[in-house]
Each structure stands twice: as C-alpha cells, then as structure tokens.
Amino acid sequence: MTFRHSTGFKRFYSPRPLDSPEITVRGIGIREQMPPCQIQRPHGMNDFLLMLFHDRASAANRPTLDEVHPVETLMIWPPQCGQYYGNSRERYCHSWIHCDGVRVRKIVRESKVPVMRPFSVVNPACFEQCLAEIHRELVSYMRPDAVIVGNLLENCLRDLVRYRNADSMAGRISEGLLKVRQLISEVPAREITLGQMAALAGMSIPNLSLRFKNVFGVSPVECLIQHRMHHAAHLLANQNLTITEVGQLVGYDDLFHFSKMFKKHYGLSPRAMRKRQLRT
C-alpha cells in the first residue's frame, strides 16, 4: 500500500506579496492531496504552471489523458496553454507553483527545462524545497525580494536539468535505485536502515551509497533526512499537532533529537518555524 502524507499545503496569495513585471507568484502547493479526478483547462491560465506529480498521473496540453506517467514526473505549462492532468482512478499528490514575469520567462528559456512535455525528476526534494523557500520569502517579509525568489526558481530548474542530463548520459537509472528513492519519498517516518535499502536495491551497502550519491547528489541517509525535514516543515503549519507529534510523524520519537536535526537543516528550531508560520 502506498503511504500518503497526512497533510499538504496550498495557498493562493491575495493580495499577491510579490507582483511586479519581473516576477509574480499567484500560488504555491506542496504535496497537495487530490481525490481521483481529471483537471481540464482547455485555455490554460494566464501564467506558468510548474507541477510535480508525486504519484502516478497523466499530464498533457491536450485532451489525451489515457497515458499515466510514473511517480515524480514534472510538467510545465506556459501561459494560455491547455492544461489536462490528474488520475481519475486513484488519489494523487502533487506540488506546484503558479508564476510569471519577465524573469520567469527568461529562466524557463535559458535553463532549457522541457516545456509542455512531462519528464521524470530524479531529485524531487529539490523542487519541494524550492517551493517552501519561495513561500517563506513571500510571507516572512513586508517586501519580498524578487531577486531572491527568481534565484531560488532558477537554481531549482537548473538543478533539475543538470540531473536530467546526467541521467541521459549515464543511461537509464537502475530500478533498484528508483525503488530506494521511492521508498524514502513515500515513507519518511519509517525506520529504514542502509542494509534494508541495499537489499531492496539488490546491491551491497558501499555500492548503493556510491551509486545513489552519484545519481541523486546526496547519500541515501541524507536523502531520507531531507524528506523528513521537508515533511516536518509542512506538518508544523497544522496547529492541531504538537511539535512532539510532528517529530513522531517523521520518524523521531525523541523530541530533542528531532529539534536538533530540524535546526541543523533549516537554521531554526521547530518552535521558531511554527512561530514564523503563525505570522503569515
């Protein structure tokens, strides 16, 4: 059974905290949970939509919804381009951003990221973290910095393209590595040892560690910690959960250890992060 995150994040900004000719952000969603459905917008929207599907779903610019893409597929729709996506049979989870502006168009063009063509993403945590950082920039300051937001987006897209190109040169990523990455992504709270990961991949521990880092840029353990911390940041927005409960939901029964790992990753404690979120 596929693990589903207990919560997601979605926000459309009104008024928009950053709305300039250079860059504007209309909304952000991080691991938003969707019921079985198909979204059809024949004329698209007035801005770019970048959407990462964490579950199997279709994504196209015309009404051909029979092709279902694998997990961690990214689709970029430009303004006024037909948007057709979803999964009519199963619930699915996705992360997205609506944005536009002179710099956004330049970033998309110069990064050479595929547009109107779905492609597999080998480092989905990069996209999630980018959205989280952009949201924090938009809501944490009276005057968000358009340069910072643009830099975050540009670095993310260039990183995605770099890994995609590396994948093309190296050939198909082994199924074992994909299984390990998918397990880490889907079950961040589960205790997973390197030995279990290596067994799942059909490799020795040293071989798994070396090949995983070569492909995804981080070690398996670092990848697991990243997913846990990103998920914890989203859970902290839920005021019905205590910080101890948030830690337990991402695999840390010891509150002190969870707080230490969170502060090491984000530079502030879970409590400080929650206070910042309360101000937004």
Q: Which fold has domain 9-169?
A: Jelly Rolls (2.60.120)
Model confidence pLDDT, tens digit, residues 28-48: 999 999 999 999 999 999 999
Q: How high is the pLDDT of residue 51?
A: 98
For the chain, domain boundaries? 9-169, 175-278
pTM of the model: 0.66
| Residue 224: Cβ-neighbour burial (10 angstroms; 0-12, 13-18, 19+) | buried
Q: Provide DSSP, 83-142.
A: EEEEESSS-EEEEEEEEESHHHHHHHHHHT--SSS-EE-S-HHHHHHHHHHHHHHHHHSS
Q: What does the block give as tokens for 105? A: 């168009």
Whether pLDDT at 138 is above 80:
yes
Mapped onto helix, strand or coil, the DSSP state of residue 242 is coil
For residues 119-147, give the mean pLDDT.
87
Q: How high is the pLDDT of residue 239?
A: 81
d(CA 268, CA 261): 10
Question: What confidence tier does 170 reach under pLDDT thresholds 50, 70, 90?
Answer: very low
Q: Please state which CATH number belongs to domain 175-278.
A: 1.10.10.60
Whether pLDDT at 118 is above 70:
yes
Q: Provide DSSP, 28-63.
A: EEEEEEE-SEEEEETT--SSEEEEEESSSBEEESSS
Q: How high is the pLDDT of residue 165?
A: 59
d(CA 7, CA 3): 12
Question: What confidence tier does 92 reach under pLDDT thresholds 50, 70, 90?
Answer: very high
Mean pLDDT of the chain: 86
d(CA 98, CA 80): 13
Q: How high is the pLDDT of residue 99?
A: 97
Whether pLDDT at 134 is above 80:
yes
Question: What confidence tier does 81 reach under pLDDT thresholds 50, 70, 90?
Answer: very high
